[in-house]
């Protein structure tokens, strides 16, 4: 089954999402979960986040993704895993991440999806710089 990671310049749009579903060609798929993450217009010390600029250590992201997928597949009986993640500037309220998992049944798909999203956030060398409306910035810190 196909497992794929794509780093996309700018925001993730509905065409990208549509392609994920088109690529899931397993005949036995009975459950599909798509998790999407958006850029939140957080207010930090009175300043509004207007966008996040993402950078990545791309060759290592790809290697870490392979390791992560192998780990998930050892633990869960899933068919395909797809990750889309933005690079560059993504405005507030736009999508910056999409994580897709398919399997035969819903329970394993739910569980695999949750583990996968957490591992993507903790294990992939990607960084976000929060840009405020004032033009100032700070480096994002991931929370639960």
Partner 1 sequence: MKVRLKYFGVLSEKMNCSSDTTDIEEGTLLSNFLNDKKNSLDVKFKVAVNHKFVEEKILEENDEIAFLPPFSGG
Site residues, partner 1 (CB under 8 A): 37, 54-57, 59-60, 63, 85, 96-97, 117, 120-129, 139-142
Tell me the closest approach of the beta carbon of residue 123 to partner 1, in angstroms: 7
Tell me the closest approach of the beta carbon of residue 108 to partner 1, in angstroms: 22
- Closest-CA residue to 127 (of 40, 53, 63): 53
Tell me the closest approach of the beta carbon of residue 26 to partner 1, in angstroms: 26
Nearer to partner 1, 62 or 77 (CB): 62
Tell me the closest approach of the beta carbon of residue 109 to partner 1, in angstroms: 19
Q: Which two tokens stand for residue 96?
A: 């910056």
Nearer to partner 1, 5 or 78 (CB): 5
Query: Which residues does residue 134 pair with via DSSP β-bridges, in sequence order?
Result: none
Nearer to partner 1, 43 or 60 (CB): 60
Asked whether the beta carbons of 136 and 46 are under 8 A apart, the reply is no
Residues constituting the chain: 144
Tell me the closest approach of the beta carbon of residue 47 to partner 1, in angstroms: 18
Nearer to partner 1, 12 or 78 (CB): 12
Nearer to partner 1, 27 or 144 (CB): 144
Which residues, other chains included, contact 14 with Cβ-Cβ below 8 Å and sequence gap of 6+?
none
- Closest-CA residue to 112 (of 82, 72, 70, 144): 72
Q: Which two tokens stand for residue 106?
A: 């819903």
In angstroms, rounded to a whole number, what is the distance separating the alpha carbons of residues 59 and 16? Answer: 22
């Amino acid at each position: 089954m196909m497992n794929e990671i794509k780093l996309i310049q700018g925001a993730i749009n509905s065409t990208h999402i549509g392609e994920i579903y088109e690529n899931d060609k397993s005949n036995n798929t009975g459950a599909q979960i798509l998790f999407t993450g958006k850029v939140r217009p957080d207010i930090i010390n009175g300043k509004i986040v207007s966008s996040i600029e993402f950078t990545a250590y791309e060759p290592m992201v790809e290697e870490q993704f392979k390791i992560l997928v192998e780990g998930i597949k050892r633990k869960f009986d899933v068919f395909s895993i797809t990750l889309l993640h933005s690079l560059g500037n993504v405005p507030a309220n736009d999508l910056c991440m999409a994580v897709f998992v398919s399997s035969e049944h819903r329970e394993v798909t739910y569980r695999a999806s949750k583990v996968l999203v957490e591992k993507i956030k903790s294990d992939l060398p990607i960084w976000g710089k929060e840009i405020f409306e004032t033009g100032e910035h700070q480096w994002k810190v991931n929370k639960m």
